[in-house]
Amino acid sequence: MNKIKAILLSIILILSFEVNSISQNAPGSFADLAEKLMPSVVNISTTTTVTTRSNQFPFQFPPGSPFEDMFKEFGEPKERKSAALGSGFIIDEEGIVVTNNHVIADAEDIIVRVDGDKEYKAKVIGADPLSDIAVLQLDTKEKFTPVKFGNSDKARIGDWVIAIGNPFGLGGTVTSGIISARNRSIGLSRYEDYIQTDASINSGNSGGPLFDMNGDVIGINTAILGRNGSIGIGFSIPSNSAKLVINQLIKFGETKRGWLGVRIQDVTKEIADVEKLDEPRGALVASVASNSPSEKAGVKAGDIILEFNGERIQEMKQLPIIVARTEVGKKVNVKIWRNKKEISKTITLGRLETSEDFKVADKNSQPKEFVIEDLKINVKEITNEDIKLRKLPNQTSGLVVTKIKKDSPLLNNIEINSIILEAQKKKIRTTNDLKQVVKKVLNSNQKTILLVIYNSQNQRRYIGIKLD
C-alpha cells in the first residue's frame, strides 16, 4: 500500500510540475510591456473632401419645364469634409510613421497624435495600395521613441501577442491574444500572407502594430472578419513582408517589385494527374504577357513553375510574394514542369510598376451554336463582336459556353460566357475539335480532361475535370 501511495504522489508531483511549467509561459501581466510601447504607437486622423450630388426626386423634368430651374439646385454637386481614424507606429526617432495605405488614401490633411496629447501634421513619404502600407513623416524636429521590427517568420501559432491602437477613436487601447494561424489569404490584395490573431482589432486599429512578447513589431494590423466589430479574427501584414515595402517607400517614395509577366493559378489534383506530376504543387502558368520577361525566356502557357530563385513553390500564392520581393533586373533560375519533365529557365526580372497589360486585337468570325452532348453544354464559335466587347487577346479562337445543364460534369467548374480555348493541350476552333477530344478522353482509362478557358472576367484558367 505504501508503494502505491508513493507512486501516486510521484505522479501528482510530476503533473504539478508540468502544469506550473506551462503556466510560466503565460504572462502574468502585460502592464510593463504596454507601458514601454505606448509612446511609440500613434493615433491618426485624416480629412478628405467628398463631393456628393443630392437629388431627392426620382425623376427628371423635361427641358424648358417651369419646374426645371426650381429643382435644379437639388442636383448640383456639394462638397463636405469626411474624417477618418486609424493607427500607426514610429520606426525612427526622426518621426517616421508606418500605417495602412487605406488609412491615409486621398487624405488632404493628416494629423498624428503621439503619446496621447501631442499633435503633429504629417506628410506621405510613400504609399503602396497593393500591400496596403504607407509611410509618413511628422512635420517636426522633435525626437521620438521608435519601435523595431521582429522576425515574423519565427512567430508560431499559439504565441502571445498584443495590439495597441485607436479603435473607434479610443487611443491607447491595448488588447492581447495569440497568433491563431499563419499564411492566411482573404482576397483583399495581391500579396497576402497574413498573420491571423484573436487579439481584439476593430475599426480604427488599422495600421497599428502587433507586438510579440519582446516588444518587437511582427505585424501591421490591417483587417478583421466581421462587419460589426471584432469577433476574434483579425489579420496583420507580417513584418518581414512589410519591411521590404517600407524600405523602398522610404528610399524611393515608391515600390520597385519584380515582375514575371504571367497569370497563374493553382495546380489541382486533376491537373497534376494529367501532367504526371507527383503531387499538386507549384504555380500553373495560365497565360504569358506579350514582351514580358517570361515570354523572352521561353516560358509558355501550361508550364508549372516548381521553383523560383532556389525557393520551392508549394502553393500558387507563394510565387507572387517571392517574385515581388526579388530585385528588379536580377537574373533568376526558374524550374518548370513541362511535358511531364523538369526543365530550367533563366529569367531577367522586369518591374511590375512599369509593366504593360495584355494587348488587345481584332478578329473576324461567324457565329455558330451547337450542343456538346458528352459535356452537356451548349457552345457557339467566338465572334468579332465577342472579341471587341470583351477586349480579348490577339488571335483568340475557341467556343463560348452559352448553356450548362444541371447534370453537366462542367457544372460548378466553369460559368456561362466562359470561352473554351484548349482541350488536352489542343487548340479548339470548332465544335468538332472539342467533340473529338472529349470522345478520346472517354475512351481512355484516365477519363480526365484538361481544359484551358477564359472565364467571364477574361482570366485564362486551366480546369481539370473527371468525366464519367
> Which of the residues are catalytic?
102, 132, 206
C-alpha span between 284 and 303 (Å, rounded):
6
C-alpha span between 255 and 431 (Å, rounded):
47
Helices (H) and strands (E) in the chain, counts: 10, 27
C-alpha span between 163 and 176 (Å, rounded):
6
Residues with Cβ within 8 Å of 280's Cβ and at least 6 positions away in sequence, in order, are 266, 267, 268, 269, 271, 272
DSSP β-ladder status, 304-308 and 311-312:
antiparallel
- What are the respective helix, strand and coil percentages of the chain, to the nearest 5? 25, 35, 40
How buried is 93 (Cβ within 10 angstroms: 0-12 exposed, 13-18 middle, 19+ buried)?
Answer: exposed
Cell numbers standing for residue 448:
480526365
**CA within 13 Å, CB half, 5:** 2
Q: DSSP states of 10-46 as a string?
A: HHHHHHHHHHHHHHHHS-S-SHHHHHHHGGGEEEEEE
Residues 424 and 450 sit within 8 Å (Cβ to Cβ): yes
The candidate with the shortest Cα–Cα distance to 463, out of 408, 386, 385, is 408
Residues 280 and 271 sit within 8 Å (Cβ to Cβ): yes
CA 48 to chain centre: 26
